[in-house]
Chain A
Amino acid sequence: MSKFINFAVLFIFILNRNQMKEEKENENILDEVTTSEYKYGFYTDIETETAPKGLNEDTIRFISKKKNEPEWLLEFRLKAFRYWQTIEEPNWALLNHPPIDYQDIIYYAAPKQKKQAESLDEVDPELLETFNKLGISLEEQKMLTGVAVDAVVDSVSVKTTFQDTLAKHGIIFCSFSEAVQDHPELVREYLGTVVPHTDNYFAALNSAVFSDGSFCYIPKGVRCPIELSTYFRINAANTGQFERTLLVADEGAYVSYLEGCTAPQRDENQLHAAIVEIITHDDAEVKYSTVQNWYPGDKDGKGGIYNFVTKRGLCKGNNSKISWTQVETGSAITWKYPSCTLLGDNSIGEFYSVAVTNNYQQADTGTKMIHIGKNTRSTIISKGISAGKSNNSYRGLVRVSKKAENARNFSQCDSLLLGDKCGAHTFPYIKNSNSTSVVEHEATTSKISEDQLFYCQQRGIDTEKSIGLIVNGYAKEVLNKLPMEFAVEAQKLLAITLEGSVG
């Protein structure tokens, strides 16, 4: 056990509690829906240690030194930074935001630990309070098994739970910094293999300044018995969050991985540029679920998180599978395209997404499916819901290379418009160079049908609830793919995000 795990305390992302409250909450949901704004918008006054504002090679050396990193990792960062300086911010997405001043951001902020905590009691009480507010209960955690959480606050992993249980199976699940110290060979082997620093502008930025994140390795033939989860939170002001997740499933391994995120309510915009890399070897399967609920800004579009995320999965082995499920309700701007490179023969990529935008939110999200191996299959189901004055775009690429014999893709992208001030857009890209492949894409755009609404209403369900019901039904196909505990959260989130959007 490393010294870094000392302050890693056991706790759980609790659902049982949620379920108990469920009935009561259902009664109050309308109250909640009509009055609630962003409920995770609190700020915790934790002492943080920050790097000076701005970005240059010194900042990167500072971060690297803080984390006691080996030389090769510093080189990796510097290489990425030098590349980043030569390229420009992409402008092809249907997003509109004032230019980001990259020198006005703090690139490193860590909660200050007075000393390394030996037990739960010694963890900074403010921090514990934060997690309580987020619904991650510490009181009930010890006996309940279920989810192992790695919590990342302001780019630094504060604690990882259930390491003992996982260690029994040989599973490595820890913060990225720990992984660099304890398993440098694994990190070095896989880091940047799926998302090279040249992938895109934000990936280059992240590769240069990433401060922490999660690392997970599932050894051969192991089926991870519990669901793994990372919880991200931005806390400090003026900081950017740049975390990096690396997930490796060796031959025949299986893991279901959840990711959640929140941020305080602030008037200025904050930048979040993360990277997730997944590698699956032969017969391995990874299921990656995200409920993204960064602060979306207020009703007038003030504040909110700029969420520029690069998520890529590589189905390296034959018969491997990567499945992305995402529920995107937060962020002022979402720029996110979880993708699968289907390299191994018979590998499978899946993408299920519900993206909801309200007020002045903007989302440009979708996926990439790159078919390289033979008999590779991919499915894309995307449901966009726009309300208020928001804009919601699906942008997806399906590429079938020359060697991808018998590749098969099916894509369906539906958009729902609630109100006449919002926009719903679909930008599918299909690049096919194999004559034995079959690629199909279909999409529809519509509003809630009067008939459905009338049916609900004539049975005494009021308009707001009816719309909630219909929207939930519309998104069901995707919500069903979420692990149960997330599905409950996601449904409520849908209702809250859409509050006040019914005219």
Chain B
Amino acid sequence: MSDNKNKIFPLETSLKNSYMDKTKPLNHAKSGSNAIEHKKVTNSRLNGYNIFDKTGLPTPVIEQWRSTNITKDYKENYLIGDNKPKFDKQINEIFHCSVHGFDTNVFALLNGWYYSTPDKVLQTLDNGIIVGSLAVAQQKYPDLFDDYYNEIARPDSHGFNAINAAIFTDGLFIYVPDNVKSDKAVQLIKMVNRDDNIMINTRNLIILGENSRLSFLHCDDSINQHKGLLATNTEIFLKKDAQLDLYKLQNLNNNTTLVNSTFVKQDANSNLNVNVLTFNGGIIRNEFTIDLTEEGANADISGMYLMDDKQHVDNQVKVIHSAPNCTSSELFKGVLDDHASGVFNGYIYVARDAQQTMAFQKNANILMTSTASIDTMPFLEIYADDVKCSHGATVGQLDNDALFYLMQRGIKESDAKLLLMYAFVTEVTNKIGIDALRNSVDDMVKKRLRGDLSICDKCILQCSTPDLPVEFEIDMSKI
């Protein structure tokens, strides 16, 4: 491991070279724009450069990266960021995505750039929600950027977040004004469609005003089988009484590495529900840093992963209880098959005066083969005495008694296992608040478990058709 420490990776060199010319940020070079960037954005780019210069890319020498080794990727040559693509096709021509019975406002990022016609690059929806390109929003809403941009992101946490601040191209900006409660979910589709190896850095900023409500569906999809290295930083602000339901759907090809950092700051009585649903991907790392800064805030983070082949998933969830009377729960469940490997690192931090905190953490895993592996680290760091905190982690197999019960009723072993695995993960999928979405995800889980679902040229959600809900071909009447 100490080898890695002094080695300079090709990717590191090309990233460092990519910002040699500090007078012209990468995104401007790539987009051909000469517009002046918001001062805060420019400063954070410089800051990111400087941090990255010192830290470089994370290797397993760093404690938080011990279980996820992506140094193999660093040895590849990547194109750093793509030129801004022209809008020549409708999104649905490239990508078909809809959930039956689930009406969403769809926005897209293609190869790291906001993808739309020029008139829709930053729009105000009927209910007053502002959605559009981050690169455009920084010019149009400088005040919001003054207050929020780069306030909670941590470029010093590791090299990916540092370089993201420095060289990100574009991303999604959402502002929900006070008291606006949106019925229609916002859906972001992030697509990568390049014929060569590419590294893409995007950055999102989401602000929910007081007493507002938003459902946000964030889909990461690959369109082809080319190698990609995707890094995203998302900053989310929930003002007093706001509620955000965040769904992350991840279905990437086995050659893609995704490093995903989400930072959330929650004010009084705000409510956050997160569902991370990982179906496919080469290496996926999801990091959440959620700070409950005022009383009454609640964060509910759950996740499910179904990995096979040589896939690797890493969920790092840190919840910081900075104020008293906040609640949080983490529930992550996963099934690991073949040579798949998983990592869960939950972290509950309770600050000195955060009395009456309730924080729970649970991670359960099923290993299907002796070549699959899981590292689970449910951490607690507690500085207040009047709290209720617990964590639990289990690793095991399917319940032999239950398996026997099903088999003695004439259900063959493979079907019985399928049923039990399905039952195992439904604890997570049942938390999805939108019926149509839950049903679709449910279908996807079934397909994934049956081995039918692989990445296709369509959005995974589309694979579900309402007329033909996926059913296991198991005679349930026997049970």
Residues of A contacting B376 in the complex (Cβ-Cβ under 8 angstroms):
429-430, 432, 441
Contacts of A6 in B (CB 8 A): none
Check B394–A439 contact: CB distance below 8 A. Answer: yes
Quick check: B385 and A427 within 8 Å, CB to CB? no
Q: Does A92 contact B (CB under 8 A)?
A: yes
A439 to B374, CA, bound (A): 11
The answer to whether A439 and B396 touch across the interface, beta carbons within 8 angstroms, is yes
Given the complex of chains A and B, what is the CA–CA distance between A425 and B355 in angstroms?
A: 16
Task: Flag if A434 contacts B385 (CB, 8 Å).
Answer: no
Closest chain B residue, CB of each to CB of A448 = B385
A435: interface (CB < 8 Å): yes
Across-interface contacts of A431 in B (CB, < 8 A): 67, 373-375
Which chain B positions have C-beta within 8 A of A206? Answer: none
Partner of B374, one of A418, A424, A426, A432: A432
Say yes or no: A443 contacts B382, CB within 8 Å.
no
- CB-nearest residue of chain B to A425: B381
* A419 and B385 contacting across the interface, CB-CB below 8 Å: yes
Interface residues on A, range: 35 or more
Q: Provide the residues of chain B in CB contact with A428, threshold 8 Å.
A: 377-379, 391, 393
Q: Is the CB of A421 within 8 A of B381?
A: no
Q: How far is the CA of A441 from the CA of B381 in the complex (A)?
A: 16
Contacts A415-B382, A422-B385, A445-B387 given: A439-B377 contact, CB under 8 Å?
no
When C-beta atoms are compared, the residue in chain B nearest to A395 turns out to be B379
Report if A435-B397 is in contact (Cβ < 8 Å); known contacts: A92-B63, A420-B386: yes
Q: Would you call the interface of chain A mostly helix, strand, loop, or mixed? A: strand
Which residues of B (349-369) have their CB < 8 Å from a CB of A? 352-353, 355, 365, 367-369
Which one of B63, B369, B378, B382 has the highest number of Cβ atoms from chain A below 10 Å of its Cβ? B382
- Is A435 touching B382 in the complex (CB atoms < 8 A)? no
Assess whether A223 is interfacial by the CB under 8 Å rule: no
Q: Which residues of A contact B388 (CB under 8 A)?
A: 445-446
**Beta-carbon contact of A420 and B355 below 8 Å:** yes
- Identify the closest chain B residue to A421 (Cβ): B352
Total interface residues on B, using CB and 8 Å?
37
Interface check A438, CB cutoff 8 A: yes
- Residues of A close to B419: CB separation below 8 A: none
- Residue contact B392 to A423, C-beta cutoff 8 Å: no
Cβ contacts A320-345/B at 8 Å (1 or 0 each): 00000000000000000000000000
A121 CB within 8 Å of chain B: no
Q: Does B352 lie within 8 Å of A420, measured CB to CB?
A: yes
- Say if the beta carbon of A152 comes within 8 Å of chain B: no
A358 to B112, CA, bound (A): 53
Q: Chain B interface secondary structure, helix, strand, loop or mixed?
A: strand
A423 touches B381 (CB 8 A): yes
Question: If A432-B367, A433-B372, A444-B390 touch, does A438 touch B383 (CB 8 Å cutoff)?
Answer: no
Answer whether residue B92 sits at the interface, using C-beta atoms and an 8 A cutoff.
no
- B366, closest chain A residue (CB): A435
Please give, as numbers and ranges, the residues of chain A lying within 8 Å of B394 by CB-CB distance.
438-441
A433 touches B392 (CB 8 A): no
Bound Cα distance A431, B394 (Å) = 11
Q: Is A417 an interface residue (CB 8 A)?
A: yes
**Is A447 at the interface (CB under 8 A from chain B)?**
yes
Nearest chain A CB to B384 CB, angstrom units: 6
B360 CB to nearest A CB, Å: 10
Contact status A422-B380, CB under 8 Å: no
Q: How far is the CB of A391 from chain B (nearest CB, A)?
A: 8
B310 to chain A, nearest CB (A): 14
Interface residues of A in 439-460 (CB under 8 A from B): 439-447
**B379 close to A423 (CB less than 8 A):** no
Contacts of A415 in B (CB 8 A): 380, 382
B106 within 8 A of A: no
CB of B371 within 8 Å of the partner chain: yes
> Is A437 an interface residue when CB atoms closer than 8 A count as contact?
yes
Give the contacts of B58-87 with A (CB-CB under 8 A): 63, 67
A402 CB-CB contact with B under 8 Å: yes
Does residue B470 face the partner (Cβ distance < 8 Å to A)? no
Bound-state Cα–Cα, A44 to B374, Å: 53
Give, as a whole number of angstroms, the nearest-CB distance from B375 to chain A: 5
In the complex, what residues of B have CB within 8 A of residue A36's CB? none
Residues of A within 8 A of B367 (CB): 432-435
Assess A436 versus B390: contact at CB under 8 Å? Given A428-B378, A430-B376, A443-B380.
Answer: no
When A402-B371, A434-B367, A435-B397 are in contact, do A425 and B392 touch as well, CB less than 8 Å? no
Whether A417 touches B385, Cβ cut-off 8 Å, given contacts A428-B379, A438-B395, is: yes
Chain A residue nearest to B367 (CB atoms) is: A435
C-alpha spacing A402/B369, complex, angstroms: 10
Residues of B within 8 A of A422 (CB): 383, 385
Residues of A within 8 A of B380 (CB): 415, 424-427, 443, 445
CA distance A433 to B355 in the complex (A): 38
A433 (CB) vs chain B CBs: closest residue = B373
Whether A51 sits at the interface, judged by CB under 8 Å, is no
Q: B385 to A447, Cβ gap below 8 A?
A: yes
Given contacts A435-B397, A445-B389, 9 further A-B pairs with CB under 8 A are A402-B371, A423-B382, A432-B367, A433-B373, A434-B367, A437-B396, A441-B391, A445-B382, A445-B390
Which 7 pairs, one residue from A and one from B, show the smallest C-beta to C-beta distance?
A: A433-B373, A417-B385, A435-B367, A426-B380, A432-B395, A423-B383, A425-B381
Q: List 14 A-B contacts (CB under 8 A).
A: A393-B381, A415-B382, A420-B384, A420-B385, A425-B382, A426-B378, A431-B67, A431-B374, A435-B367, A435-B368, A441-B378, A443-B380, A445-B388, A447-B385
Binding site for B on A (CB under 8 A): 92, 94, 393, 400, 402, 415, 417-447
Which B residues fall within an 8 A CB radius of A?
63, 67, 352-353, 355, 365, 367-397
